[in-house]
Amino acid sequence: MTATPSQIVLYSRPGCHLCEDAHEILAALLARRAAQGLPTPTLVERSIEADDELQRRYGLAIPVVALGGRELDLATTEPRLRRFLDEALDGPAPDEGTA
């Protein structure tokens, strides 16, 4: 069993409404996981605005969520974010095994 990553990073920029929505969704999903006793990393938000490398890497894809070596571009919906968290923290769903 691998250790749970201690942080989930939300790459965003000020004034990005999609980023604000992603932050709210992630906070709710993480609170739900914590209430269920599931592994729950801390949410950290990083602005790409003051970092040229982050702007180059994520400028057209924000909000981007990074967790345990995985990234999700355009992380804007609750189902996508929930699935990303579940897979990154708990592994693939039983019906999504390797074929």
Site of tokens 């609170």: 31
pTM value is 0.87
Condensed to tens digits (0 to 9), the pLDDT of residues 51-96 reads 999 999 999 999 999 998 999 999 999 999 999 999 999 887 666 5
Q: How far apart are the first and last CA of the chain?
A: 22
Helical ranges in 1-99 per DSSP H: 17-35, 52-58, 78-90
Taking CA atoms, 89 is separated from 8, 23, 41, 92, in Å, by 10, 18, 9, 9
Q: pLDDT tens-digit profile of 12-46?
A: 999 999 999 999 999 999 999 999 999 899 999 99
Instruction: Tell me the CATH class for 7-93.
Output: alpha beta
